[in-house]
A and B are shown apart, each in its own frame.
Chain A
Amino acid sequence: MVLPPDHPQASMTTRIATARSTSATDAAPAFLELQKQLGGAEPSLVVVFASTSAPLEGVMKAAAHAFPKANTIGCTTAGEFTEASEGKAQFVAWALAGDDVTVTAGLGTGLKADPEAALESAIKLAADDAERPHRMAILLLDPLSGNGEEASMLAMTMLGPTVRLAGGAAGDDLHFKQTLVACGNQVASDAVVVALLSSRRPLGIGVKHGHKPMSKPLTVTKAEGSVVHELDGKPAFGVWKDAVRAAVQAEGADIDAIALADVGGHLLRYEVGLIAGANEYKIRAPLSADAAGAVSFACGIPEGAVVRITSSAESDQISSARDAAERARKALGGAKVAGALVFDCICRNLILGPKFGAAVKEIHEGLGGAPIAGFETYGEIAMDLGQSSGFHNTTTVVLAFPA
């Protein structure tokens, strides 16, 4: 039952509102739409995901103007969506109101040089609150600082083992020039934003990718940071080609005839799975290969790691999005979903193309029709209690809030 806004108990109910706008110059109507949906309830958190064509600074100012008492956070993206639509060249906004969740948020800069100091600046610890014992941190970071995975794990150690993490790495519409994060009126690159949420009831995290192993296990025998030079003692690109040759041929292409500059789309179809448990793979996205046979990834893979090349059927990419949503919903322990934030990899959009909208629809339905807002990331972050997988690629992360 949804209580009318003037009902005495209405402020106790979690309300989530979403809006989108394609206007880069007039962001105000989207925030008026949020106000309307919230029925006058004051939000504690407003989140903005903006394309590079909708300057983040202006959108954040409009958000702060509309909701002066709320914590406002946001970032640039490689695509944005709500339950109503998905697309590019727009911004989406999401607001959380109600008495269940309290929020503190901060931004830290200098992520590349000193991630610990940047996180220290960003982490505004909430006061202990016996009525709201559950802790969740939303992390938004600049991936072009080059240490997204390390920063995520560092955040986990600094926040402590009882704080769960969900979030994403900002995008810039695939320009790879500047990715921004924002908190209040601060907008910065080489930065990280941490919003710490304290809630009466646990929030739900769901994580799922749509990849299946297709090669035998392969050991990373030579690697430097995010560049894998050798697998099983041989040039990595050659090993990858051997693993995918038949599958690519079945699609009507010849992997040996494709120029290095054009191989990116195939690399994303056949990504690498780091073996993290029995039949569980943490996905690592290969972005390019060089003439010497090295493959560059979106994040680091240590020497000695064992991986398998994976395939990613479109149908699996769509069903995995629903799985992530259903897992987040299930984690609410039977409560109705008020709404969710979604961190979904741009690589999934590149794989699915025009079918990406179907995946967004599955997430919405998997959450029982609750409102959602999300963005296409350069990396997804999820850490649950006892599950420190951290930084993912080509994966969907859903953070659900109970009604």
Chain B
Amino acid sequence: MAEMDTSSGGGHKKGPGVKKGKKLSTRIDLTPMVDLGFLLITFFMYTTTLAKPKTMEINMPYKDPNLKEEEKNKIKESVALTILLSKNHKIYYYEGMATDPTKPPDLKATTFAQKNGIRDEIIAKKKMVDGMKASGALGPKDETTVLIKPDTTSTYSDLVNILDEMNINDVRVYAIIDISDVDQNFIKETELANGIK
């Protein structure tokens, strides 16, 4: 394929007196071309972005400004778990929603650690709710609800991590809510009590 037919065409032979010109081979060495080809392939393979970025879909709770006050807060205290995200990737959490000011919640601290982190707490909460559903204390429509309240000192990675935990642990109902002053005070008090600055 890479050679060309250099024998004089037509089939007629040259006479004996005619001097033959030195036949130069037209066979081209393709090695450099192949080299070049593979070099370019390597370049394009490195620059190409085959792994497309992945996305996480989030649905924020629908906020209707016309919603009446009594229609809100339909979540039962017993199914709710409130998670506060704070600085240095720390997490504070408590059972319920702390709607009753006379009974301050028992704030506990944890982290995003694989073991003994927030995941275990979410799993425990889910088990508890499932147990209550089985015993009839909760209706079949009640589901574990996680309220996520990121502090102003928390980072975006905290938010993604906690949302990811929701997906990992199959928590269907969760919401990102603005942190209230009450919750911020809870964090402050706990930090003071534990000597964290």
Q: Is the pairing of A and B real?
A: no
